[in-house]
Structure 1
Amino acid sequence: MTTLSIKDLHVSVETETGAKEILKGLTLDINSTETHAIMGPNGSGKSTLAYALAGHPRYEVTSGSVTLGGEDVLEMTVDERAKAGLFLAMQYPVEVPGVTVTNFLRTAKTAVDGEAPKLRTWTKELSASMKNLRMDPDFASRSVNEGFSGGEKKRHEILQMQMLKPQFAVLDETDSGLDVDALRVVSEGVNAAKENSDLGVLLITHYTRILQYVRPDHVHVLVNGRVAESGGPELADRLESEGYDRFLVEA
């Protein structure tokens, strides 16, 4: 079992008025095979956590630690984190004109693994994953996310996760902007990635609807940069009925 361990993490972001602390001592352990859901109101630090783990340069870790299997993640460059097994599905995937989905995925896989995948096996696996995600085969020859709908971009993020096979996937509001059908397909893609691997998932979301399809082992409520409460799936159900008011009053 591998563990992604976050201890007393403090993260600041530069704003027009100077540095602002967003995460204020967040502690969380995620074991491989587990699914952890992070929920919380706007501005609580959910996306900041995702970007800090991925190594976004705008987000400065001022104290605390992050380790993956005992290795210091914070000392790694962005590409080293990917090679170590960290993956981020972005809330707002960017367009990359001129780079096809096929070339992007195979180049990324080669960089992560240190060697190019066998072409026949790779092509077969890519076609199968795209089919399961209800993606038109033509998308393989299109530029990355260029002209994609919101749902298509999110499916492409899950396609990346399936093909790169990370140890831990951080899904930053992958459910946002999806209709019911697209949500189901994306959720099935997450579950499929977990079925035949030891993938650990950190699922960041505002709403419980995705948790009806991707059942979490643990749910954490993030408020004002800290974990205010942790529990099982029943905590998400309570949040659905009660909201975050009691946490905001306490904060």
Structure 2
Amino acid sequence: MSEQSLLQVKDLSVSIDNELPILHNINLDIKPGETHVLMGPNGAGKSTLGFTLMGNPHYNVTNGSITFEGQDITDASSDKRAKAGMFLSFQNPYEVPGISLSSFIRNAYHAQTGAPVKLLAFQKSLKAAMEILSMDESYADRDLNVGFSGGEKKKAEILQLLMLNPKFAILDETDSGLDVDAVRTVSKGIEEYQKKKDGALLIITHSTKILESLHVDYTHVLVKGNIVHTGDGSLVDEINANGFERFV
């Protein structure tokens, strides 16, 4: 494995509850600072890959391996992966009654780094990140995602991305169900993360709207659990114009 690799997926096959595989011999090599896009029709297995990379126990690795920063994490728990610097933005974010958005992010930061959180500095950073995402400051004190609209939930996910600044982030259809203005705002938050140039992204989507203003290094097309084609950022434009017909 290249010393420059952050995440390497080798010959990965995945099933749910030991049934027939959903993913077949997936290979990915992601380096710090890179943005990879995973596209494909609905039901291709895109979200399955995201959940598997993050260690969701519902998904069983039947073959292959996942390596992060040179360490085999194929059997590591989600908590260990998060502490190592991995992050997953959910397609359908969970509601967490009883804990505010601000407290959730503070606790996640402490769990990730083990370092104490300096309250004033944290509040200043949180306010600045919320301004980037056009979020009203009152959301910081509201229970996480409870009563949030779809767009507000997605903004809350990207707010966590900006505040936690993970080494590797998986964004699972973050643009799903958003109107044009919300897509632009979320995309702006992702751009802000990209500017730091030390974190890598895997953006999972079947749309191209969120990618219009983002730099993309590699685009992978997933069809029926197989990566059938890999190209550079220009492949996004081709898919936008012609869809997935030539890959199916």
TM-score surpassing 0.5?
yes
Give 1:21 shift. 1.0
Matches of 1:13 and 1:170, distance apart in 2: 20
Structure 1 equivalent of residue 110 of structure 2: 110
Give 1:207 shift. 1.1
Which residue identity does 2:167 align to in structure 1?
A: Q
Give 1:120 shift. 1.5
Partner SS for 2:153: helix
Q: Of residues 3, 8, 25 in structure 1, which corresponds to 2:6?
A: 3
Query: Where do 5+ consecutive residues of structure 2 fail to align?
Result: none
Matches of 2:193 and 2:61, distance apart in 1: 30
Q: Of residues 9, 12, 15 in structure 2, which corresponds to 1:12?
A: 15
Is the CA contact (8 Å cut-off) linking 1:191 and 1:214 kept in structure 2? yes
Give 1:2 shift. 4.5
Is the CA contact (8 Å cut-off) linking 2:55 and 2:75 kept in structure 1? no
Give 1:230 shift. 0.7
Structure 1 equivalent of residue 193 of structure 2: 193
Give 1:236 shift. 1.4
Give 1:197 shift. 4.1
> Stretches of 4+ moved more than 3 A in 1?
none
Query: Where do 5+ consecutive residues of structure 1 fail to align?
Result: none
Structure 2 equivalent of residue 178 of structure 1: 178
Would you say 1:229 and 2:229 are equivalent positions?
yes
Give 1:154 shift. 0.4
Which residue identity does 1:9 align to in structure 2?
A: L
Q: Deviations over 1:11-52 (max 9, x none)?
A: 0013xxx71311011001111101011000111110000000
Structure 2 length normalisation: TM-score? 0.96
Structure 2 equivalent of residue 211 of structure 1: 211
Matches of 1:22 and 1:131, distance apart in 2: 40
Q: 1:156 to 1:208 in 2, by over 3 A?
A: same
Is the CA contact (8 Å cut-off) linking 1:134 and 1:185 kept in structure 2? yes
Give 1:132 shift. 1.1
Partner SS for 1:60: strand
Partner SS for 1:115: coil
Q: Deviations over 1:84-105 (max 9, x none)?
A: 1110000000101111111111
Percent same amino acid at aligned positions? Answer: 49
Q: Deviations over 1:119-173 (max 9, x none)?
A: 1111110111011111111101100000000000000000111111110000000
Give 1:245 shift. 2.1
Is the CA contact (8 Å cut-off) linking 1:89 and 1:157 kept in structure 2? yes
Structure 2 equivalent of residue 52 of structure 1: 52
Partner SS for 1:191: helix
